[in-house]
A and B are shown apart, each in its own frame.
Chain A
Amino acid sequence: MKTSAPFIPFLLLAVLLFTGCKRTDGIQEYVGPKDTTTPTNFSVQGDSLRPSYSLVNFSVQKQFFIASFSHSVAWKLEIRGKNSGAVRLLSGISQNLDSSNTSFDGKADSLAFFLPTESCTARLKVAGWAKEYTCEFVINQMPSFDAVQIDDFESPNDSTGFCALYKDPTDSLVMFKESESTLFFEGRRAMRMDGYDVNYNYWLSTLSTKNVNLKSILTGKEASSVYLNMFAKGEADGRTALEIQMYEDENSDGVYSSTSDELWTAKTTLTGEWKQVSLHFDDFSKSGTSGNSTLEPEKLLRIALVLVAYPQGGYSSAYVDYASFTFGQPFSQK
């Protein structure tokens, strides 16, 4: 054998190297997910977190937060309303907190709303760093939401929105407060209805809209895109149901008649916790035989909320706040 023989394997090996080897594509800058743990010599400049406004008017301003880190780190900022318990979470990976990454428009991730005149706490947590940084600010005014408001129940004794009440005359202590300030979910007031169903027909009271031009709100809207939204709360033991009625002026004569127009209803049961009620028009069913059996948004005459002592009569109550229409999706603060 010639001594050049050992070079034959090198040739074969070179062929193997250049033809047989490949590496998984994908994350090629580094292996694994981005490491956002905090280095041991991490520090926060000034050892503080600051809000851009100590009193913020969300109708014209956005809040943001200011901090500067020694390293680029993963952080979480939790903004919590002291009274409402509303929460907004912000997070990111950066070396600074500023308007570009901590902009806060007053809208919550939680079901609960931030409240006007509410004091809030912002709490900053850096991944892998034990110390937390906090600051406080006060909300002056809340922002507007992407919804057509029917009634926010903030104005006592006004004559628009849900303000026309019909009581069951044979029931006892049927109460209605259009704008109750002791319990609310959005703003500082909510609507309250309660009473004793003593005749065991379950119906306690009906609250209808008044001076709300539903036609102008809903004309041109597809029925399939319309949602009726509100926030509601009942009794803790579940003795409350809320029936939502929509009266359709089928013959366009400006009044509702059970013989010629349509009544559409949907029902929801309430508990002691606030919940969002968002009803799509498909959720309503027609009551009675008159009409063309088609829910036409532009023909809506009025909407009514019916307090029902469901399912056993007796005392029942309901709080309702921030009723609105949205289009395309249920109400969301953001």
Chain B
Amino acid sequence: MEIIPLRITLFFIALSFFVVVAKLIRKGKLHEKHALGWFLLGSGVLISGTFPHLVDRVAFYLDIHYPPILAICIGLVIILVQQLHLFILITRNETRIKQLTQEMALLNKLLEELIEAQEKAEKQPSGNIPE
């Protein structure tokens, strides 16, 4: 059986990631403001996957003796930062949902009061309305 070169495997994995990201952006499933980040990330994966020796080069200049660890470290940092960003967004959204729910409950109550007052006024149209 013939051996598939690692470079080809990497290229296809990276390419499929890039294509998925591009499709999601096109369909509007990733918001435009997030799109740029994902596009850059996809491009980075594609480049480092297609030219793995680039990673070796960079690792050498950074005094890293085992180059794959560089790729893993970069990946981990990106994931951590993203995770943090997501939790910030979740917290903000929770607060907003709470605000909305509270405000809605209050408005519902005020609306009910308004309707009741109106019905009362309609039932007894005598006296205080100047006509």
Partners in one complex: no
Binding site for B on A (CB under 8 A): none
Binding site for A on B (CB under 8 A): none
